[in-house]
Amino acid sequence: MSKIDFLRSRIVTLKEAQRKIGIWRLKDETIVFTNGCFDILHKGHVTYLAKAADLGNRLVVGINSDASVRRQGKGEERPINPEEARQTLLAALTFVDLVVLFDGDTPEELIQLLIPDVLVKGADYDPNETDKNSKKYIVGSEFVHSHGGKVAVIELEAGFSTTGIVKKLKG
């Protein structure tokens, strides 16, 4: 398999993700899931994803579609990079096993369909928050807990954010 075909094999549909995760489960591998826009891939993203990958055997990343990013109100110019480009960059990271696009406002449905063993978010979220209206609430946490899974948070790399990069570029 060529390198580009290998890269493309990591960008999958929901159905393909479910099939691959099913195979990994037969091998008793721990499935870690996280999600985000990953609009301008930076050191903070890479460090976060590497630490997430350390929490299990396989890392699955849910990535917001372009329409989903626009609905989040992050700014008229967002996303800066289209979903195909964002998927490709994530798939190129050696510790990312699968990249799955989702179009919802949250990854709730994707999490319910993939049933990860570990759900991961940045430390700006609170794994103990139960108020679904709180900005610190981790979407999918109740579902993951109800299936015997864990929810973890990872410290963010100070000084790195896509919003900060966009502000800096605008000068």
Count other Cβ atoms within 10 Å, centred on residue 140: 25
Contact 7, 93 (CB under 8 A): no
pLDDT at residue number 141: 97
Mean pLDDT for the stretch of residues 144-148: 97
Question: Is a pLDDT exceeding 70 seen at residue 51?
Answer: yes
pLDDT at residue number 162: 63
pTM, entire model? 0.93
What domain range is 76 assigned to?
Answer: 3-170
pLDDT at residue number 76: 80
Position with higher pLDDT, 171 vs 14:
14
Contact 79, 66 (CB under 8 A): yes
Phi-psi region of 73 (alpha: psi -120 to 50; beta: other; left: phi over 0): left
CATH number of 63's domain: 3.40.50.620
Mean pLDDT for the stretch of residues 116-121: 98
Lowest-confidence range among 5-14, 78-87, 89-98, 153-162? 153-162
Tokens of 153: 């948070």
